Amino acid sequence: MKLFEMRKEYRAPEISLEDMNPDPFTQFEGWFTEASERYGDHTNAMSLATASAGAAPSIRTVLLKSFDRDGFVFFTNYGSRKAKEINENPQVALMFPWIEMHRQVIITGTASKISTAESLTYFISRPRGSQLGAWISQQSSVISSRKALMMQWEHMKEKFKDGNIPLPDFWGGYRVKPVHFEFWQGQENRLHDRFYYSPQDDGGWVIELLSP
Give me the active site residues, please: 190
Residues 6+ apart with CB under 8 A from 110: 90, 91, 92, 176, 177, 179
CA end-to-end span of the chain: 27
CA angle (156 as vertex; 151, 160 as ends), nearest 5: 155
Measure the CA–CA gap between 26 and 20, rounded to whole angstroms: 10
Q: 134: part of which helix (H) or strand (E)?
A: helix 128-136
DSSP 8-state class, residue 165: P
3-state DSSP call for residue 81? helix
Pairing between strand 71-77 and 193-199?
unpaired
